[in-house]
Amino acid sequence: MSERTYARLLGAVALVLAVVLASRPATFWDYPTDAGPALAAIAHGHIGAFFAHQPAMGPLSLYLRAPFVAIAAALHDGRIGLYRWGCLPCLLAVALVALWLALIARRHGAGRFAMALIVVLALVNPLVSDALYWGHPEELLAASLAIAAILAASEDRGLLTAVLAGLAIASKQWAVLVIVPAILLLERDRIRALVLSGAVAAAAWLPMVVVNLVAFRHALRYISHPQPVVTLYTWLYPFSPTGTVTVTNIFGDSRTFDAHQLLSVEAILARPLITLLGVAIPLLVWWRAGRRASVEQMLLASALVLVCRCALDPGSMAYYHFPLLLILLAYDAVAGRKVPLAGLAGVAVSFVVLDRSPTYLEMGLANCLYIAATVTGSVLLAATLRKRPRRLDFAT
């Protein structure tokens, strides 16, 4: 079998996996009080209602999902059918990035087994299932676009880097964390790429602002104030007292229950600290590398930033770690490993720590396991960065 034929076969496998995964969700937790109202409205031709129900996420996934939910409505599917059809373009984005990573791995000397394993690991893992279970397929889209922006920058494709980074931010706001590593990987026109990425993101939001400014302001106010609860998957959990919290949905009733409460200092400092680390870590790695960092170094720096993002976010969920898994697979691909060990480790840790431990362990113990895993991962990433890996370029 020729290399081209094998690549096409892998692409077909990735496509089939995306379709199968999209057809599986039986629940959609946050969807009815987040993206659901807008997508249900557009599916039935109510354009005004689509812009009136602007969710907390960026608008890009809504635009991409709209034609698919319209097909579901034409087929007279119910709410779960609309949700599944809307998941499909987000999963297709993962499939495309997985295939890109497989081709990169082959270019750097990996065999066909490694290529196939990269595709399978990117799609079949607990984090994809978790995002679909909780009703947030847009996280998969944002992660795919964010990692694709870094890959494009590695090939010094400035225009594509800027467009992909802008689209990633327009999918989910956390994607701003990929801007610095992506821009630093470019050999030239960095300022132009930075400005263009911002313009692309702004253009995606423009229809939301123009058509219904009131709804846009409501969504902006909502995302500007974190929920008063601290979840299990964060380093802040042990320092947050237990008490009664009230969680509000952007479209829906409030829920009151007992949980770990978000302290005011955590609410004030967490997001700025994550953003600061997202700028400082890649810049430090780039400066230390003589202002010419390798692809491997920027991938490791991005991985460290994403670990910090998950561990320091009070509302961190298991699926928040999916971009980190893609980064680890990208690192395997660039290194041309015969077996994608970093990706395998990421999936294994995700299964044990993020998926299984809350089921079998008391919450405090599960959080201790999470802290141990993420601290260990951070130390390993930092130690690997200190080794000054050789420069690897996609052009070589």
- Structure confidence at residue 251 (pLDDT): 86
Distance CA 366, CA 389 (A): 34
Least confident of 23-27, 143-147, 171-175, 318-322: 23-27
CB-CB contact of 346 with 152 (8 Å) = no
Per-residue pLDDT tens for 151-164? 999 999 999 999 99
Domain limits at 310? 3-386
Which residues on neighbouring strands pair with residue 229, listed in sequence order? 261
**Other beta carbons within 10 Å of 194:** 18
Q: What is the pTM of this model?
A: 0.95
- Structure confidence at residue 1 (pLDDT): 82
Please list the alpha-helical segments (H only) found in 124-263: 126-133, 138-154, 158-171, 179-185, 190-211, 213-224
Which residue do the tokens 């141990």 mark? 372
- Does a structural domain hold residue 324? yes
Helix pair angle (3-22, 126-133), 10° resolution: 40
Least confident of 9-13, 223-227, 232-236: 223-227
- Average pLDDT for residues 322-351, to the nearest whole number? 97
Whether residue 241 is predicted with pLDDT greater than 60 in this model: the reply is yes
- Structure confidence at residue 260 (pLDDT): 94
Helix pair angle (79-107, 112-123), 10° resolution: 150
Q: With CA atoms as reference, report the closest residue to 138 among 188, 96, 173, 98.
A: 173
- Does a structural domain hold residue 396? no
Distance CA 132, CA 139 (A): 9
Q: How confident is the model at residue 200 (pLDDT cuts 50, 70, 90)?
A: very high
Least confident of 2-6, 75-79, 93-97, 388-392: 388-392
- Does a structural domain hold residue 246? yes
Q: With CA atoms as reference, report the closest residue to 112 among 9, 226, 27.
A: 9
Per-residue pLDDT tens for 282-316? 999 999 999 989 999 999 999 999 999 999 999 99
- Does a structural domain hold residue 391? no
For β-strands 229-230 and 242-247, DSSP reports them as unpaired
Which two three-digit tokens encode residue 324?
Answer: 């980190």
Number of domains in the chain: 1
- Structure confidence at residue 253 (pLDDT): 77
Percent of the chain with pLDDT over 70: 98
Whether residue 396 is predicted with pLDDT greater than 50 in this model: the reply is no
Per-residue pLDDT tens for 17-74? 999 999 999 889 999 999 999 999 999 999 999 999 999 999 999 999 999 999 999 9
- Does a structural domain hold residue 336? yes
Cβ neighbourhood burial of 7 (10 Å; 0-12, 13-18, 19+): middle
- Structure confidence at residue 386 (pLDDT): 85
**Other beta carbons within 10 Å of 71:** 15
- Average pLDDT for residues 171-187, to the nearest whole number? 96
- Does a structural domain hold residue 228? yes
Per-residue pLDDT tens for 361-377? 999 999 999 999 999 99
Q: Please give the full DSSP string across 323-358, using - where no structure is assigned.
A: HHHHHHHHHHHHHT-SS-HHHHHHHHHIIIIIIIHH
Which amino acid type is present at position 297?
Q
Whether residue 388 is predicted with pLDDT greater than 60 in this model: the reply is no
- Average pLDDT for residues 235-255, to the nearest whole number? 90
Q: How confident is the model at residue 391 (pLDDT cuts 50, 70, 90)?
A: very low
Mean pLDDT across the chain, nearest whole number?
Answer: 94
Q: What HEC string does the chain produce?
A: CCHHHHHHHHHHHHHHHHHHHHCCCCCCCCHHHCCHHHHHHHHCCCHHHHHHCCCCCCCHHHHHHHHHHHHHHHCCCCHHHHHHHHHHHHHHHHHHHHHHHHHHHHHCCCCHHHHHHHHHHHHCCHHHHHHHHCCCCHHHHHHHHHHHHHHHHHCCCHHHHHHHHHHHHHHCHHHHHHHHHHHHHCCCCHHHHHHHHHHHHHHHHHHHHHHCHHHHHHHHHHHHCCCCEECCCCCCHHHCCEEEEEECCCCCCCEEEEEEECCHHHHHHHHHHHHHHHHHHHHHHHHHCCCCCCHHHHHHHHHHHHHHHHHHCCCCCHHHHHHHHHHHHHHHHHHCCCCCHHHHHHHHHHHHHHHHHHHHCCHHHHHHHHHHHHHHHHHHHHHHHHCCCCCCCCCC
Query: In terms of pLDDT, which residue wins out, 347 or 249?
Result: 347
Q: How confident is the model at residue 393 (pLDDT cuts 50, 70, 90)?
A: very low
Report CA torsion sign: 227, 359, 18, 321. Answer: positive
